[in-house]
Amino acid sequence: GKRGVELTETAPSSELHHEVGENEGFTPAKPKKKFKKLWISVTKEFKRQQIGVSFATVNGKLLVTKVNPTGLLRGTPLLPGDTILSINEVNFHVDPDAEEAYRLITSAGSDVTFEILKTGYAIDDDMSGTGSKSC
């Protein structure tokens, strides 16, 4: 009867091995493009201070068109081509009004927080955006 015991003992481990073998080389389907959300905050020293970003409404999105290399946003992950989703928790996803965004940034007391989506749009100099603003 000893042999029977040995067989039942080895069964679970061989099953386990079998499962591992099945999952080997299994790669989940890759999403076409992974958009990353980021929050970026800057603090203005005084109300009228420029934070060094330009944006425009392009194809129904509020897109960053330029980041000033000497401005407050330099060295942050904010790059031309990023989509601005919200500024100080005011949503620009549905109504991406560059004029409104400009007013919001310039009227902010000190902290300006952008919620952005890394969409990686190619920004051309002749980009046909509307209401391009710099602040």
Per-residue pLDDT tens listing for the chain (135 residues) = 555 555 555 555 445 444 455 555 666 666 566 789 999 999 999 988 999 999 999 888 999 999 999 999 999 999 999 999 999 999 998 889 999 999 999 999 999 999 999 976 766 655 567 788 998
3-state DSSP of the chain:
CHHHHHHHHHHHHHHHHHHHHHHCCCCCCCCCCCCEEEEEEEECCCCCCCCCEEEEEECCEEEEEEECCCCCCCCCCCCCCCEEEEECCEECCCCCCHHHHHHHHHHCCCEEEEEEEECCCCCCCCCCCEEEEEC
